[in-house]
Amino acid sequence: MAVRNLSTQRSLKEMVKTFGLPRIIIVIFLITLWGISMSLEIPFGQLLSDTLVRWGMNGVLVLAMMPSIMAGTGLYFGLPVGIICGLIGGLLAIELNLTGFAAFFGAILFSLPLSAIAGWGYGWMMNRLKGSEMTVATYIGFSFVSLMCIFWAMAPFKSPEMAWPIGRGLRVTISLAGRYEKILNNFLSFSVFGVMIPTGLLLFFLGMCLLVRFFFTTKTGLALKASGENPRFSSSSGVSVDKMRIVGNIFSTILGSIGILVYSQSFGFLQLYTAPLFMGFLAAASILIGGASIKKASITHVLLGTFLFQGLLVVALPVANKVATLGSLAEISRIIVSNGVILYALAQKSGE
């Protein structure tokens, strides 16, 4: 009996270790908030629907972190670069007056070459900055966003849906109503027990996850993984580590541009100018909450992390509003959680 006790204790300890303390705390926190929300008679079905939607709409952006981490360039703080490429694709689709799925997939198609080129340049930069990738990446993201503010203000788009009525340049937010608003969310969606399931959105997200998973079973994917895990091992096998780092960053940039289109169709607007600025941090926080480190990440980390992070945000807002009428409490908690998690991950020396 004592022996069994010991072994169950040990396996519990093992479980805690593999699941990780930060995740356990977050899960407990989330469940507590759910409990509070129920006692406050906030409709739980609504909360869960919102969580699922936000899970799907942010998922691909979080997924974009993965190739960069695996290639050894750390968290993909250059996410705004990918996002901007996606936005340009989205704008082009409107300019060409596309609607429905044609518009959505058209936007992805237009953004692909842009993000491939941008990702290559970004990866090239990362290779010249070995050792301080993440710090510099953050600033690359920031400066690119600022640079693009000028572009948005001067861009020669003609469509009246996007341009300011007077003068030139693009509006700050561009509505996708009638174009491809919620096109994935509504695809095959249904509701059970008052919970809306955004089938198309989740399918697309899972599809992208499978794609990434498939990539990491290919020759290139394995070379990329090995380069991130042990660059010296890879080069002793004749793999060009620098090339693999570029491939990883191209892949991350492409996922970032697809990610923002998925996000925008669900949100209903394309957000230009400074909107992409902090999206990299939110995505980074999500994958870290899921259990990834700056050296290692998996699809499970993406799925779990996005769900926990978004679940937390969705439930925090109504609970905070009921408990204290301080309007910005949800926003504050979001910033504390996201920045706290990033800090935690960066403080882990070996990234293990």
Binding site for another protein (CB under 8 A): 214, 217-220, 222-223, 225-226, 229-230, 232-233, 235-239, 296
Contact 126, 137 (CB under 8 A): yes
Residue placing its CB nearer to another protein in the complex, 19 or 214: 214
Ordered DSSP codes for 55-97: HHHHHHHHHTHHHHHHTTS-S-TTHHHHHHHHHHHHHHHHHTT
Residue placing its CB nearer to another protein in the complex, 327 or 351: 351
Three-state SS for 41? Answer: coil
State the nearest-atom distance from the C-beta of 243 to another protein, in Å.
12
Three-state SS for 191? Answer: strand
Residue placing its CB nearer to another protein in the complex, 179 or 245: 245
Residue placing its CB nearer to another protein in the complex, 5 or 236: 236
**Residue type for position 118:** A
Measuring CA to CA, which residue among 236, 292, 280, 241 is closest to residue 123? 241
State the nearest-atom distance from the C-beta of 238 to another protein, in Å.
4
Residue placing its CB nearer to another protein in the complex, 23 or 225: 225
d(CA 105, CA 109): 6
Q: How far is CA 227 from the centre of its chain?
A: 23
State the nearest-atom distance from the C-beta of 10 to another protein, in Å.
17
Residue placing its CB nearer to another protein in the complex, 18 or 217: 217
**28 class by beta-carbon count within 10 Å (0-12 exposed, 13-18 middle, 19+ buried):** exposed
194 φ, ψ to 5°? 75, 10
State the nearest-atom distance from the C-beta of 125 to another protein, in Å.
25
State the nearest-atom distance from the C-beta of 231 to another protein, in Å.
10
Token pair recorded at residue 237: 């096998």
Measuring CA to CA, which residue among 89, 236, 65 is closest to residue 137? 65
Measuring CA to CA, which residue among 329, 266, 269 is closest to residue 52? 266
Angle, alpha carbons 326-329-335 (nearest 5°): 155
Contact 67, 245 (CB under 8 A): no
Three-state SS for 176? Answer: coil
State the nearest-atom distance from the C-beta of 225 to another protein, in Å.
8
Residue placing its CB nearer to another protein in the complex, 299 or 317: 299
Residue placing its CB nearer to another protein in the complex, 158 or 349: 349
State the nearest-atom distance from the C-beta of 67 to another protein, in Å.
16
State the nearest-atom distance from the C-beta of 286 to another protein, in Å.
22
